[in-house]
């Protein structure tokens, strides 16, 4: 009898987000390493991360010879607000339950940033009497404390703490995307913990320069930010002030979308700032071209207590390009970047004075980060994760 793996992920390619970029190559690694008697089924959604990025996909993709089937569930349209996100996940969960009815699985795996994907996977594994592997990309309860109004947070916290403990105790193995998560999870579960971080995708490996390449010394520098524009990034708080600071010296390019994009744009208009331009989310082939045109890559993470444990996936992507990196980070990610990434000017999140001082320390040229790139190749990380997952059904 064939062994069956169900992989649950809210995001999958061609969606443009960290979850998609993490799960898609991991599933490929699973497919490549799985024995012939293993079938893999992925339950995910139609591309939905950004309303400004539409990429129609078939409901189902099947590769019988490879033992892989991908089913994409359609969600209601949403704008990334908290209420919309809750409705979207409810539609996803209902779709998952309808799909798994009457089916047998030996192992359920899930990659989860928001807690509820992990809870859903735990429920399915429990009902199906299957083993459970969780890949955790965020600490939901801690994040809620920073972004949800205090009164509401006090009301709902006990519910989510209970769900969190139940889901993690049910797991056989848990991977944590940041080593800084370990002390939080150790009391919650007896599962074996691992720390396979994010990594560098194959598309970016070809960008690393073999020679030092100077930036535009005599012209306006192009500083590029690519990614989500939401509460977690806090761009609306820092970017207008940095743009004023570098008026006449730099042109900022923001590529992405999210819940705070309109607020950011309104602030720029109100202050009559003209050295920031915005582009909607774009496919990676186009994004790579934008990275090549950039002189400096910019990154910012909001200074919330919960974010002090995070290690953003964008750190790895940026580092692979060889471009100078200007990053507002805090906690673990700040120390990681300072210690591990050459020519990365790091300032404390939200600290404009420190940002200005760190910018002057950048070497304005591209340079290879060979050691970092070899250590954090996504392909190698995914192989190790895939072996961990397959180990649960052997």
Q: Annotate 82-106 with DSSP letters as a single string.
A: HHHHHHHHHHHHHHHHHHHTT---S
Percent pLDDT > 90 in the chain is: 73
Bridge partners, 4 (sequence order) = 39
The mean pLDDT value of the chain amounts to: 90
* Closest alpha carbon to 349 in 230, 266, 240, 232: 232
* Closest alpha carbon to 291 in 321, 320, 324: 321
Sequence-ordered list of residues with C-beta below 8 angstroms from that of 305, at least 6 positions apart, any chain: 142, 145, 146
Q: What share of the chain is helix, strand, coil (3-state, %, to 5)?
A: 45, 20, 35
Q: Return the domain boundaries, the chain.
A: 3-199+377-390, 202-375
How does pLDDT run across 316-362, given as a tens digit for each residue? 999 999 999 999 999 999 999 999 999 999 999 999 999 999 999 99
What is the reported pLDDT for 87?
87
Rounded distance between C-alpha atoms, residue 391 and residue 270, angstroms: 56
Stated length of the chain: 394
How does pLDDT run across 187-234, given as a tens digit for each residue? 999 999 999 999 999 888 878 776 566 666 568 999 999 999 998 899
Are the CB atoms for 284 and 256 separated by under 8 Å? Answer: no
What is the reported pLDDT for 85?
78
Per DSSP, which regions of 14-172 are E strands? 38-45, 60-63, 68-73, 107-112, 131-136
Domain 202-375 annotated CATH 3.40.50.2000: yes
Could you count the other beta carbons within 10 Å of the beta carbon of residue 385?
23
| Fold agreement between 3-199+377-390 and 202-375 | yes
Identify the residue whose tokens are 């996803």: 92
Are the CB atoms for 238 and 328 separated by under 8 Å? Answer: yes
SS3 state at 65: helix
Q: How many CA atoms lie within 13 A of 388 on its CB side?
A: 24
Considering just the CA atoms, what is the radius of gyration of the chain in Å? 21
Exposure letters 313-328 (e unless 16+ CB within 10 A, then b): bbbbbbbbbbbbbbbb
- For the cut 80, the answer to whether the pLDDT of residue 94 exceeds it is yes
Rounded distance between C-alpha atoms, residue 141 and residue 149, angstroms: 13
SS3 state at 194: strand
Identify the residue whose tokens are 């331009």: 277
**What CATH number does the domain located at 3-199+377-390 have?**
3.40.50.2000
SS3 state at 38: strand
If you ran DSSP here, which 8-state letter would residue 116 be given?
H
What is the reported pLDDT for 154?
83
pTM of structure: 0.89
């Amino acid at each position: 009898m064939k062994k069956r793996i169900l992989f649950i992920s809210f995001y999958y390619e061609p969606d443009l987000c960290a979850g998609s970029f993490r799960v898609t190559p991991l599933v490929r690694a699973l497919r490549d390493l799985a024995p012939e008697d293993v079938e893999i089924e992925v339950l995910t959604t139609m591309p939905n991360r950004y309303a400004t990025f539409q990429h129609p996909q078939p409901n189902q993709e099947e590769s019988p010879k490879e033992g892989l089937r991908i089913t994409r569930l359609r969600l209601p349209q949403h704008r990334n607000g908290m209420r919309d996100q809750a409705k979207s996940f409810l539609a996803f969960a209902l779709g998952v339950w309808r799909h798994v009815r009457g089916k047998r699985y030996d192992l359920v795996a899930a990659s989860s940033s928001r807690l509820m994907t992990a809870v859903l996977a735990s429920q399915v594994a429990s009902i199906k009497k299957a083993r459970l592997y969780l890949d955790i990309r965020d600490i939901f309860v801690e994040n809620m404390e920073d972004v949800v109004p205090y009164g509401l947070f006090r009301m709902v916290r006990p519910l989510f703490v209970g769900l969190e403990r139940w889901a993690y105790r049910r797991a056989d193995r848990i991977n944590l995307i940041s080593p800084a998560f370990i002390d939080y999870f150790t009391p919650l579960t007896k599962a074996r913990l691992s720390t396979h971080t994010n990594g560098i995708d194959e598309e970016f490996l070809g960008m690393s320069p073999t020679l030092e390449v100077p930036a535009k010394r005599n012209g306006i520098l192009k500083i590029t930010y690519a990614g989500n524009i939401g509460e977690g990034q806090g761009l609306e708080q820092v970017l207008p002030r940095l743009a004023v600071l570098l008026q006449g010296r730099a042109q900022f390019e923001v590529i992405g979308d999210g819940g705070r994009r309109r607020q950011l744009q309104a602030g720029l208009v109100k202050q009559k700032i003209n050295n920031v331009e915005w582009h909607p989310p774009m496919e990676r082939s186009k994004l790579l071209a934008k990275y090549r045109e950039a002189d400096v890559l910019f990154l910012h993470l909001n200074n919330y207590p919960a974010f002090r444990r995070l290690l953003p996936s964008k750190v790895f992507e940026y580092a692979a390009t060889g471009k100078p990196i200007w990053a507002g980070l805090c906690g673990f990610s700040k120390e990681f970047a300072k210690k591990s990434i050459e020519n990365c000017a790091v300032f404390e999140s939200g600290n404009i004075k420190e940002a200005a001082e760190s910018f002057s320390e950048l070497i304005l040229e591209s340079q290879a980060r060979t050691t970092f790139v070899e250590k954090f190749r996504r392909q190698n990380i995914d192989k190790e994760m895939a072996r961990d997952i397959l180990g649960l059904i052997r």
